[in-house]
Structure 1
Amino acid sequence: MLVQAGRAAAPHADRIAARLDELVRDPHDRLMGKLAFPLASVGDVRVMPALHRLAVRERLWWDRSNAPALAALPAVELLPLLRRDLGADPAAGGNACALDVLAAWGPAAAPALPEVLACLEGPYAYEAARVLGRIGQPAAAAAGRLAELATGAVRPPGPYGPDARGSWHGVRVAAWAHSRVTGDDSLALRVYAADIASGLGSRVLPYLADFGPAAARHTGAVRALLDSPGAWTRVAAAHAWWRITGDPEPAVPVLLAAVDPEWDGHIAYPTPRAVRHLGEIGAPAAAAEPVLTRLLERETRLAYAWERHRILADDAFTRTLTGALAGIGSRISG
């Protein structure tokens, strides 16, 4: 169960660190792995000798679900190991996990720009573009290549590469990343306008939300998608509408309708995302307080979460609920 402990491992960090120290000196890699990631998840740098030891036998990045734990560590500690592995083979299996860690670090990942730029030319171009966007303007050297990817002038290799039908699946994230590294959103908004014109507006809603008022020209399309038959699209449209216009009136009922008071962890339903967006809206979403409180006070674990990560999933959803209630201004905020 320790592998699922997450932040709950913090009170036991000294014991875990001591046991890991013993295992580094007398290696038992399987047990070391089970202890290393819980210690990493609380940001404890005493895990680094164990991670270095594990990396001798296999790449640390094989399991993408470990990315949040690794990202909890200070970038300065883990970057040398991560850069070494990414640099050794930008196309290696598992690089998606390493790139997820870099994306979580944002600007702190800037020292890894050479390795990320190399990944931009391979099968992990989508993930690399997302990292560049999170790094922001320190990654300005990538602007030209991102523009080519966003406009379809070039296409990276891989299963969605030059021989695939249709456009590359990463054009939208490349356009978003271009806007973030340059500070100029004109190219991205042109790309998204083309999607909207061709009836693919649902695909660009998260990006329009990120642009906020700068995407005001698309409010009509966003408003229409509030009535989409798909729950995920309605939630994304409600969030984009609020971010672009600052008007919660049509957004809150849509988001509230997407919050299932009996949600059991099934990933097919957008309940956690709707909860998070309600919290971002704050006091105007006060009507959501009773259902959020009911969800928070339940004793039932998330039955549909993957068993290995069920406690972690429950902990994450609890933090989402308490954060939303705090944002709304509830006295029950954790």
Structure 2
Amino acid sequence: MPGEDAVFTGIDEVDWASMHHAYGSAEDVPEFLRGLASPCSQERESALDGMYGAVHHQGDVYDSTLACIPFLFALVAQAELPDRSGIVELLVSIGGGDDVDECDHDEDVAPLDASVGDRVGDGGDTSRADDENDVERAGDENYVDPADEGDGEDRADDWSGEDRATDNYAMARTAVRAGSPVFAELAADPDPDVRRAVPLALALFLDEPARVLGLLRQRLHEERDDSVRLALAEGLGLFARRHREWAAPAVDCLVTLCAAPQDPGLRLAALGQLAGCAPDRLPAGLVPIVIALLRARSHRARVPEAPERPGTDTLIGHLRRLRPADEEGSHLLRTLHSALGGRTADRIALLKGQLTSPDPADRCNAVWMSAGLFREWRADFTEPVALTGEQLDRDDERLRDAAVSVLESLFSLAAPAADRLAALVEAAPEAWGRAGPTLGRPLKALARAGDPRAVPALALVLAQPVVPHDVGYTIEYLGPAAGQLAPLLRKRLGEVPLDGPETYERAAPLLAALGTLRDEAALPEVLRLLHASPRELRRRDWLVEALARTVKAFGAVAREAIPALRELLDSECAVSAADALWSVEGDIGSVLPVLLRELTSEGAAGGHRAAATALGRLGPLAAPAIPALRSLADSTEVWDRTAAACALWDITGNPEPVLPVLRSAWRQNSYTRGTIAAHLARMGTAAAPAHDLLHAELAAPRRHRARSGGYGSHDILEDERLLGSCRAALAAA
């Protein structure tokens, strides 16, 4: 590369070995940097992947990240170097530009983690809660998901303290701001990909508002590349949000773009930016205008795609393969939907227009847009869900897969699409997930919707040589209709090896299903695992916990399990064993001392909560635990406080010391609300002083788990359950 020596001047004098990135020593960082300047496109992509994967892992900023910034600026200044747009985007991300909407002109904000789902659209799923029996634990800061065991063993993310990490974000932002004049020089770069990346960088980092506004307006006048013009409109919108005192001319420019008889894509981009920075300037009849522009854009000849790059085994290459067919359209609509926020009526009307478009790419984008709406807001989604279901009849595989992915996360809200799901499951056995590690998504979506038409296909899946691990966790949503699956579940549980490396993974889902069905006939298979599994078995404690939960669900008919449960009262699984023993035997003398011991011990995280919950089930017989529960109700840990307060009510029936604790927890951690609302329903009229919380929740337009930077696969389900518990609590008063 011409000028390479100048670009990397001083790189060998940097003490990289003393620095760190996500996986330890930063000695390999010079190799990444030099790889960005390679004449080979695959080497450049691999180097960029290494920068994101290690040096800027999930948005983190390390000392090595800071040391890279001067070399990255030197690289983007080399006009002969291909793929510089990726380096500009990397600099924007290092400077905190991923957090576009929360960046303040005078504040340094750490960037949010960007998941794969965030980078390819709204269809990604960042949660592993599918296999949890108690998905509320996802909000417990002390809960450790078994799926996370060993996660991070090879990483060095914890090498620095929180204060140093915060300083690194601030220093990165300052360094990118200092180098930002380079972005102004790139505004007219010969490479359109570079020009497309520059407007965002200018609006975020160049602290010369007059110059930035002038550049953006000048480039809009001179630019001929449609995709770059869209980026310039986006830059104007961001500029208007960040520089309120300079916003008026930027907004005027966007209004002009909205009305001009020009590229419909550019008009859509301008409308999306206006919705975010000056909604009062939006034209009347926004939705019909947007739908008409979408139709016009779809009817235009598609710009030929750039030649496909050689495939690389990198995250960036994987994300490129996952991109929507119409990535530009996806971005335009995502921007508009995000800006409209809680205007659910407008967004639903817009989705209806998109989902009935003759263009499959428009419909596919609409499906992904609907995912964000369903996940974050509360409304009557019957029509858009039914229209999403209609996409299952299409021949377009990408569109069909998108629709299934969205419906899978809706649980009972997918009912308007159930007929289409059932038809797909019946017509396509591959939709069952045959011979795979996971259940087919169409079948899972149908079962999660509570539709009994999923049962025959699930029976066939359970008869396969390998049972997908998530079948058991899916069965609970089918209610009594799943009862006919019990014999197959028992048979498969009886086939689980006692000492295999995957004994827990194979048994836990089956145990969850049998416990949900309360199939007492499975007791022999349960006892086989409880008695015969070796103590050195991998994850044996987790297996015992799952077995105890199943025995607890069986209740008094499981008396054969009493000796085994008693043996566990001095083990790591003492709380679960005592809880199950109470359900089976009801012997307070055996159970209460164990739970009191565990309540006051210095055990593992979550143990106090479990002990308190089990004590609450004993009711007034647990009176000796009242002093310890009162102490736990003052804990700094919100889940412990919540569990202690609920137990105190169950034992004493006195709401006065309980309701203030529950009110505080409700406000502190939204994940506690499902537990609290269900408890308030049990309290009946005694919960009346807390009814204001319930009324406010029912009136809130936004789902209680909606958050920036990620989401869970069960968020919609848990929000709908919360709303149901709120209504039940008010009705019980």
Encode CA deviations 1:163-191: one digit per residue, 9 max, x unaligned: xxxxx2x1111112122212212111121
- Pick which of 117-126 and 194-203 moved more: 194-203
Identity %: 34
Question: After the TM superposition, which residues 24-39 of structure 1 pair with which residues of structure 2 at under 5 Å, given as runs?
Answer: 24=429, 27-30=430-433, 33-39=440-446
Could you tell me how far 1:128 is from its partner in structure 2? 0.6
Is residue 93 of structure 1 aligned with residue 485 of structure 2?
A: no
Find the counterpart in structure 1 of residue 563 from structure 2.
Answer: 144
**SS in structure 2 opposite 1:59?**
coil
Is residue 113 of structure 1 aligned with residue 520 of structure 2?
A: no
Is residue 224 of structure 1 aligned with residue 627 of structure 2?
A: no
Letter of the 2:528 partner, please give it.
A
Distance in 2 (alpha carbons) for counterparts of 1:291 and 1:198? 33
Distance in 2 (alpha carbons) for counterparts of 1:53 and 1:221? 50
Could you tell me how far 1:64 is from its partner in structure 2? 7.0
Distance in 1 (alpha carbons) for counterparts of 2:443 and 2:548? 29
Compared CA separation, residues 237 and 117, structure 1 to 2 (3 A) = same
Encode CA deviations 1:21-63: one digit per residue, 9 max, x unaligned: 2123xx4445982222233235433222321333426413347
Question: After the TM superposition, which residues 1-334 of structure 1 pair with which residues of structure 2 at under 5 Å, given as runs?
Answer: 1-24=406-429, 27-30=430-433, 33-55=440-462, 56=464, 58-62=466-470, 66=474, 68-69=476-477, 72-90=479-497, 91=503, 93-105=505-517, 108-121=518-531, 122=533, 123=540, 124-152=543-571, 168=572, 170-196=573-599, 198=601, 202-203=608-609, 204-260=611-667, 269-301=671-703, 302-304=705-707, 306-327=711-732, 329=733
Encode CA deviations 1:58-101: one digit per residue, 9 max, x unaligned: 4133477535335x353531112211221111525242222222
Letter of the 2:731 partner, please give it.
A
Find the counterpart in structure 2 of residue 162 from structure 1.
Answer: none
Could you tell me how far 1:198 is from its partner in structure 2? 4.1
Letter of the 1:226 partner, please give it.
A
Distance in 2 (alpha carbons) for counterparts of 1:28 and 1:87? 27
Letter of the 2:597 partner, please give it.
A
Letter of the 1:294 partner, please give it.
A
Distance in 2 (alpha carbons) for counterparts of 1:308 and 1:223? 35
Structure 2 length as normaliser, TM-score? 0.38
- Pick which of 127-136 and 110-119 moved more: 110-119
Encode CA deviations 1:249-292: one digit per residue, 9 max, x unaligned: 1111111121128x6x6xxx423222222222122222222222
Distance in 2 (alpha carbons) for counterparts of 1:193 and 1:289? 32
Could you tell me how far 1:11 is from its partner in structure 2? 4.1
Could you tell me how far 1:142 is from its partner in structure 2? 0.7
Q: How many residues align?
A: 302
Distance in 1 (alpha carbons) for counterparts of 2:715 and 2:601? 40
Could you tell me how far 1:111 is from its partner in structure 2? 1.2
Find the counterpart in structure 2 of residue 158 from structure 1.
Answer: none
Distance in 1 (alpha carbons) for counterparts of 2:459 and 2:599? 47
Distance in 1 (alpha carbons) for counterparts of 2:414 and 2:596? 47
Distance in 2 (alpha carbons) for counterparts of 1:277 and 1:256? 12
Encode CA deviations 1:205-226: one digit per residue, 9 max, x unaligned: 1111010011112222222222
Contact 1:45 1:77 in 2 (8 A): no
Find the counterpart in structure 1 of residue 378 from structure 2.
Answer: none
**SS in structure 1 opposite 2:469?**
coil
Could you tell me how far 1:227 is from its partner in structure 2? 1.6
Distance in 2 (alpha carbons) for counterparts of 1:215 and 1:312? 33
Compared CA separation, residues 202 and 110, structure 1 to 2 (3 A) = same
Contact 2:421 2:442 in 1 (8 A): yes
**SS in structure 1 opposite 2:505?**
coil
Letter of the 2:452 partner, please give it.
V
Contact 2:409 2:716 in 1 (8 A): yes
Distance in 2 (alpha carbons) for counterparts of 1:46 and 1:63? 15
Compared CA separation, residues 246 and 308, structure 1 to 2 (3 A) = closer
Distance in 2 (alpha carbons) for counterparts of 1:183 and 1:51? 36
Distance in 1 (alpha carbons) for counterparts of 2:431 and 2:673? 41
Structure 1 length as normaliser, TM-score? 0.80
Letter of the 2:620 partner, please give it.
P
Contact 2:432 2:442 in 1 (8 A): no
Please, which runs of 5 or more residues in structure 1 have no aligned partner? 153-167, 330-334
Contact 2:649 2:658 in 1 (8 A): yes
- Pick which of 118-127 and 296-305 moved more: 296-305
Distance in 1 (alpha carbons) for counterparts of 2:681 and 2:506? 34
- Pick which of 133-142 and 4-13 moved more: 4-13
Could you tell me how far 1:133 is from its partner in structure 2? 1.3
Contact 2:496 2:506 in 1 (8 A): no
Could you tell me how far 1:102 is from its partner in structure 2? 2.2
Encode CA deviations 1:122-176: one digit per residue, 9 max, x unaligned: 3211111111111111100010111011134xxxxxxxxxxxxxxx2x1111112
Contact 2:674 2:721 in 1 (8 A): no
Distance in 2 (alpha carbons) for counterparts of 1:195 and 1:76? 36
Letter of the 2:440 partner, please give it.
G
For the pair shown, which has the larger CA radius of gyration, 1 or 2? Answer: 2
Compared CA separation, residues 241 and 292, structure 1 to 2 (3 A) = same
Letter of the 2:594 partner, please give it.
V
Compared CA separation, residues 28 and 65, structure 1 to 2 (3 A) = closer
Find the counterpart in structure 2 of residue 160 from structure 1.
Answer: none
Please, which runs of 5 or more residues in structure 2 have no aligned partner? 1-405, 498-502, 534-539
Contact 2:599 2:628 in 1 (8 A): yes
